[in-house]
Structure 1
Amino acid sequence: MAASARTRQSWKVTMVNGISPAELGSVTLDPGLFEQRRALNRAYLDSLTDENLLQNHRLEAGIDSSFTWHLQPTSGDPSERGLDRHWGWETPGGSQMRGHFLGHWLSAAAREAAATGDAVLRARAHRVVAELERCQEANGGEWVFGVPPVFLDRVAAGREVWAPQYNLHKTLMGLVDAARDLGDQRALEVARRAGRWFARWSASFTREQFDDVLDVETGGMLEVWADLLELTGDEVFRDLLERYYRARLFDPLVAGVDVLTNTHANTTIPEVLGAARAFEVTGERRWADVVHAYWRCAVTERGTFATGGQTSGEVWTPPFEFAARRGGKNQEHCVVHNTIRLADVLFRWTGDSSYLDHVERNLYNGILAQQNPRTGMVAYFLPLAGGSRKRWGHPTEDFWCCHGTLVQAHTRHSSYVFYEDARADALVVAQFVNATWTARRPGGPVTVQVARSDSAVRVGPDANAGPAGDHHRPQEWRVSVTVVSGDDVPARVRVRVPGWVHGEPAVSTAGGEEVRAEAVDGFLVLDHRGGRSEFHVSLPHRLRVEPVPDEPTTVAFVVGPLVLAGLTDAETALVVDDLRHPEAHLAPDDERQWAEWLRGYRTTGQERSTRLVPLHEVVDQDYSVYFPLRTR
């Protein structure tokens, strides 16, 4: 069921401070690294059958399924039991998290269909929603989840149970996203009826009792209630917003207390994303205060690894104390995905380009680095101990929480490239991802195309056809920004100047003529007078080091936003002449093939040389991100 155009218009993301993302479906990813990863993820989404995705919801509803299954695997070997069932966290009857992945899948399928026009995934998403409605009816008209309500009784009684509200949120999230992104009114009604169950249940507790309930991971329930309040106008969801206000977390944060060190990171980020949506929907400043206080405590006053990510064993590290926290379970993927979402929110609210820098670094060294470029599977963690290796998931055997955020993350690449800034009456190029945007403007459509000519991704049918170009790998990112509109339709384009730029950015026309482009608040301002304009932007960079804050003689090497990983099976010390300039002992390595510039380096002046490549290119090799230094 499609929503009317008027209804769909009211579902647009609320603009705060005049900045809004490009309209969903108006951006196309062009050939390049991010389009490759999106396509890989899309193929995985389509490979999972509706029957297997719905297995736990149908079983909970008592609906017979049309396929053969066993309660327990017949063997530990996936090749012996086949792919007739989803296992791991989705194991029927054997996992308290069963059913969570369906919501991730539905959210991802809805976003992919809305962003790309994918008719197959759109139809499948509608079918899954229809089956969830059937499950809800079989459950009495409200309950629509893959686990029983008794799990919530265990939470209330203080008995051990694995985060049921986190689980239930995923189904609600998928329904809300199907309603918002695809206009599926049935999904909205199923979510509304399920929400009424929570309204009755939560009303049965005192404030103190429910605060105890909220201490057990709730996922993004607060965000769902804000979304449903906006989509339906039903006051029951305003009441739920108030009940789900987590005072024990939010109030100390706003007061400036560090309540995050050593706490589970991905418990809190979704709650704060909920506070962000509550502010956007209600306009009540107290919610925004929580968001700003959280970012200050979690990022600004805590710091990140060189990758831009955080956490060790899923918990926040102490502020700027990382030396003892590098290990095999750093940088949980869920934290990366949700922190990127929070940075996106804060950029829209403030216009501060540093949030876009945070998104960029985490896209390359988190989202891309934790997706296998061959299989599309996720690495739950990104180990940062010396001589580590990424552990990849399996298509049907694991279904970790990070498996869920994986499929969502790779449907959002087109959503982070462009924004519209009503304050400056400008179109914003936020990320240097090959993409094309057709923006609706008062005078007529304006098309903005971004392409990186220095990309190491092979584009086109014949890689031998590229120009000879520079003698050596350019020490800059080269970005072309092409703007096309009617002859009488001018446009102003703001292009982000990343924090990693070393030197002055330069802008020229396609013919090589210099363009005077003023830098304002972290953006180059390009004026398009109508017709066709092609700007070539040069963003110079240098190889630099980023030390561990509390162990400054251990460093990572970074180029632009890309963290380099040494291909070594143990932590490898570098012997250097000057501790202030260890980058002097790295030289370009294997820099060119056909028409491509590659991004490798090698160490020099060592007993044994180590090759380094961008972290997101490491697949099954042992690697080290950090290198201890010692002088000769």
Structure 2
Amino acid sequence: MAGGGGLTRRRVIGNAVVVAGSNAAGFDALAAMVPDRVQPRSMPFGPDRVTLLPSPWLDAMEANRRYLLSLDADRLLSGFRTQAGLAPRAPVYGGWESDTIAGHTLGHYLSALGYVRVQARCDRAGERIAYIVAELAACQRARGNGFAGAFTRRTPQGKIEPGIYVFDEIRRGDIRAKRFSLNGAWAPLYNWHKLLAGLLDVDRLCATPGARDVALGLAGYIDSVFATLDDARTQQVLSCEYGGLNESMAELYARTGDMRWRALARRISDRATMAPLCAGRDELDGLHANTMIAKTVGAARVYETTGDRQAAVAARTLWSSVTDRRSYACGGTGDFEYFTTAGPHGPGDMGAHINARTCETCATYNMLKLTRHIHGWSPDAAQFDYYERAHLNHIMAQHDPQTGMFTYMLPMGTGAARDFSMPADDFWCCVGTGMESHARHGESIWWQRGRDEITLNLFIPSELQWHERGARIVLDTRYPLDGQVTLSIREVTGTDPFTLALRVPRWAGQPRLLLNGRPVAAVVERDGYVRIRRVWRAGDTLGMALVFTLRKEPAPGGGVLAPSAFFYGPLLLAADLGPARGEWPWRLPQPALIADDACALPVRMNDGNGIAFRVAALSAGQGAWPGELVLRPFAQMQARLAAPYLPCIPVAAWTPALRQQLLAATRDADDAQVVDAVDPARPHAMRGAMMCNRLGRAGWITATDMRVHLHVGAQPVALRVLYYDDDVNRLFTVRVNGHVIATENLDGRNPGVFAWHRYDIPPDIVARRRQVEVSFVGAGARGVGQVFGVQTIHA
């Protein structure tokens, strides 16, 4: 695992040909509805069988529940009613819900409400679900053709039109597809996958009347569009992000047995990016991470329902690549949402990609979904070593339990503040997946393998109801504050034996087991579990003690300044740099540890019930530089500036020259001269009087004609623009106040690299002005390249 050690149990990607099915508990629930379904080896118990007990996970779920119920369903439905020709009952929300991707949140919202209804036994959530489904059905009746959507499209002239126009054009053979835009709409197939997934979730979890009918109606409309396309045009359409739309069609096939959905599920796969994965090849460098992970989750479901082994190869190949070679210490992946360059047998220089725009939360959400599929096929503790890392150190870290808000990215850069959403004015994709993630904390704790083995994969305080055995089992633990885990059999019927299997994390070494208070042998089997099989009786207890130690995991890349991450048990630690203030880049010295054995420096502090380590300031040749450091759990530092990676430098290498190099590592001469700047990923946090039309996906701006307004000073200024150098065939002009100052041709000269381009601005253009308008105008067929940042700087 890049930045966090490799997953070494190679059984993870073995040759098993079995697969997990639905989330329903018990194998009887998987009676084959289709002849080619592949039988699972392990299945999670559904959220109706699991009750969360007091813990940070329950706190997160409750904060999320409060936020979900604070939202106005009519505002989320506003665009759906408008597109159906019905009067909206409330104005649309802001942020992405006011853009051409409008409506994508509602699907996530339905899924989250479904889990809250079942997991938290929340009747209000159930009432909200029923209302939304009824409204969507009304929208479909008004349309009369199954269409349901809130998304719009923007014409080249900037006019906003109904989203259905996109598919009217596609039926006629007029297809204008870009990576995230289809005929002027922002990823409409991705949008529909979210809605279908939400409808299918509430159908499965809550048996909501009408939910499956609405899903079938929408799927029928989508199928009617694809029926007009030959193979070449289908591939053209699928070159635009489509989420896991194949997953929804495979799920409909599993529930109905209708071969129509089977055929469509297999058809929705773009060969350009999926064919290498299906052949077992990792050609992910520079691709958009969440796009690839989502469609691979869909491939996993296609395999489960059709037996398509190439789809299984694709899922295993991507999962192994991300977990072995493309993950940061928190378990997240992606730099500016894109996969970094990785070698054929190991990670690339992850150390060069530690910044403030790492780890899109959607990508981790989908990696956890993919891990559940992989685990069902060939269960191994290593899969949940990854799952726990990402769930604990990314998903929990991207949520503020005080406000219920979410981050888009989780920054790995030193001193980068977490940017949390606002309740009614953002609705990024990661707000949607955040809603789901913090409603689903109980779904992967308890698993069943065969008919008589219970597997404990996550150490989250909870209670399991195993109805088939009349058993009630309680998990009591303070984990991850310590390694003591206790299972108590509160109820059980019958005298047949069954097995309790407990995951032993790879970092934990040999655990200690106590059965009813007495030590028993703890044999960690090849798949990473300890198992106790016996006739269990009410009152029995099984305790496991895991040993927590401090360890460091270097980020790949080499060199004396290559940083390392520190872990205490499962927890990623980070240097606490003080209250969140300002924005990245961090301008103070990069903190570092100077020692031949860096793990010997931190000393455990008395920090109440929390975890903290102190590293004394540099003295006697070793310590923390430039001063004392305190390491705390990264997941709990929502309001703090953090350094999750620290250079660890041997004492002999600590020279004045190296010290100056370390000082320079956090300085950028051009950044120091910034007059004004816009970061498209944070349109609500822009400084001064800047204005920016909120075009494009958060993290970048792409448009045929994009404009931003930036301040200029009294001194001469120049312009800097951050591009993604994997962009190819992008020809466009860069203009200031309407004057062309440069013609840019992005040709993919530096694959996988983000690069600043500097342009001189003639003084007469900015003379006696306080602001300038910077615009980008397409001059070629593919239009403007992706713009990740725009700055005016002192010339």
Task: Give TM-score scaled by structure 1 length.
Answer: 0.87
Moved more, 13-22 or 176-185: 13-22
- Is the Cα–Cα contact under 8 Å of residues 25 and 116 in structure 1 kept in the other structure? no
Aligned to 1:546: 553
Aligned to 1:439: 466
Looking at structure 1, the residues matched to 593 and 134 of structure 2 have their Cα atoms a distance apart, in angstroms, of 63
Q: 1:251 to 1:564 in 2, by over 3 A?
A: same
What's 1:498 paired with? 505
Q: 2:300 aligns with which of 259, 262, 276?
A: 276
Indicate the residue corresponding to 2:84 in structure 1. Answer: 61
Q: Which has the higher strand share?
A: 2
RMSD of aligned Cα (Å): 2.2
**In the alignment, residue 557 of structure 1 is paired with which amino acid?**
F
User: How far 1:426 moved relative to its partner?
Assistant: 0.8
CA–CA distance in structure 2, aligned partners of residues 135 and 487 of structure 1: 52
**C-alpha distance in structure 1 between counterparts of 2:427 and 2:646, whole Å:** 33
After TM superposition, list the pairs within 5 Å mapping 1:445-460 onto structure 2: 445-453=470-478, 456=481
C-alpha offsets along residues 96-120 of structure 1, whole Å, 9 cap, x if unaligned?
1111101110111112213333211
Alignment check: 8 A CA contact 1:387 1:571 kept: no
Describe the SS at the equivalent of 1:551: coil
Equivalence map 1:415-426=2 (5 Å): 415-422=443-450, 425-426=452-453
C-alpha displacement of 1:380: 0.4
CA contact (8 A) 2:603 2:614 kept: yes
2:112 counterpart (105, 108, 111): 108
Please name the residue that 1:72 is paired with. none
Is 1:516 the equivalent of 2:521?
yes
Mapped contact 2:326–2:339 kept (Cα < 8 A): no
Query: In the alignment, what sits opposite 1:574?
Result: 592
Q: Indicate how the Cα distance of structure 1 residues 139 and 17 shifts in structure 2: closer, same or farther if over 3 A, else same.
A: closer
Q: 1:202 to 1:157 in 2, by over 3 A?
A: same
* Structure 1 counterpart of 2:775: none
| Aligned residue in 2 for 1:373 | 401
Aligned partner of 1:585 in structure 2 is 601
When normalised by structure 2's length, the TM-score is 0.70
Q: Deviations over 1:423-480 (max 9, x none)?
A: 7x31000000001101133xx3122211214555xxxxxxxxxxxxxxxxxxx51111
Q: Which amino acid counterpart does residue 628 of structure 2 have in structure 1?
A: S
Q: Which among 151, 165, 170 is matched to residue 150 of structure 1?
A: 165
Deviates more, 1:476-485 or 1:24-33: 476-485
Q: How does 1:141-540 map to 2 (within 5 A)?
A: 141-147=145-151, 148-152=163-167, 153=169, 156-158=175-177, 159-300=183-324, 302-319=325-342, 320=347, 321-422=349-450, 425-441=452-468, 444-453=469-478, 456=481, 477-484=483-490, 485-486=492-493, 488-502=495-509, 504-511=510-517, 513-520=518-525, 521-531=527-537, 532-540=539-547
Give the match's secondary structure for 1:482.
Answer: strand
Distance, in Å, in 2 between the alignment partners of 1:361 and 1:295 is 15
In the alignment, structure 2 segments of 5+ residues that lack a partner are 1-24, 152-162, 178-182, 578-585, 617-622, 652-795
Q: Single out whichever of 242-251 and 409-418 deviates more from structure 2.
A: 242-251
Gapped regions of structure 1 (runs ≥ 5)? 70-84, 457-475
Q: State how far apart, in whole Å, the 2-side matches of 1:363 and 1:46 are.
A: 24
**Hey, what does 1:610 align to over in structure 2?**
629
Which of 561, 569, 573 is matched with 1:560 structurally? Answer: 569
Asked if 2 retains the 8 angstrom alpha-carbon contact of 1:573 and 1:630, the reply is: no
Residues 165 and 554 (structure 1), Cα distance of their counterparts in 2 relative to 1, 3 Å cut: same
Match of 1:137 in 2: 141
Write the distance in 1 (CA, Å) between the matches of 2:379 and 2:136. Answer: 40
Quote how far apart the aligned CAs of 1:10 are: 5.7
* Structure 1 match to 2:648: 629
On the 8 A contact 1:311/1:332 being kept in 2, the answer is yes
CA distance, structure 2, for counterparts of residue 571 and residue 234 of structure 1: 62
**1:219, 1:523 → 2: CA distance?**
34
Q: Helix, strand or coil for the counterpart of 2:502?
A: strand
Alignment partner of 1:25 is 2:25? no
In structure 1, the residue matched to 2:4 is none
Q: Which has the higher helix share?
A: 1
For 1:130 and 1:601, locate their aligned partners in 2 and report how far apart those are by CA, in whole Å.
54
1:40 aligns to what? 63
Summarize the Cα distance change of 1:326–1:11 in structure 2 as closer, same or farther, 3 Å threshold: farther
Q: Does structure 2 conserve the Cα–Cα contact (< 8 Å) formed by 1:11 and 1:230?
A: no
Moved over 4 A (4+): 8-15
- Please give the secondary structure, in 2, of the residue aligned with 1:63: coil
Residues 121, 225 of structure 1: alpha-carbon distance in 2 compared, 3 angstrom cutoff:
same
2:282–2:317 CA contact under 8 A, matched in 1? no
What does the per-residue CA deviation read over 1:141-174, in whole Å, with 9 as the maximum and x for residues that have no partner? 4111112222344782344442111112222221
Superimposed CA distance per residue, residues 571-600 of structure 1 (whole angstroms, 9 cap, x where no aligned partner): 63324230xx21111111233x2xx3x111
Residue 472 of structure 1: aligned partner: none
Q: Percent identity?
A: 28
- The 8 Å contact of residues 595 and 648 in structure 2, kept in 1 or not, is answered as no
- 3-state secondary structure, aligned to 1:257: coil
- Conserved in 1, the CA contact under 8 Å of 2:101 and 2:185? no
Equivalenced residues, count? 577
Q: Which residue of 2 aligns with 1:470?
A: none
Residue aligned with 1:612, SS: strand
Letter in 2 for 1:495: L
- Please give the residue correspondences for 1:83-94 in structure 2 after superposition, counting only pairs within 5 Å: 85-91=92-98
Query: What is the match of residue 75 of structure 1?
Result: none
Task: State the Cα deviation string for residues 287-317 of structure 1 (Å, max 9, x = none).
Answer: 21221222233333x2421112110000111
Superposition deviation, residue 622 in structure 1: 1.2
- C-alpha separation in 1, matches of 2:497 and 2:283: 49
Contact 1:438/1:448 (<8 A) preserved: yes
Secondary structure in 1 matching 2:647: strand
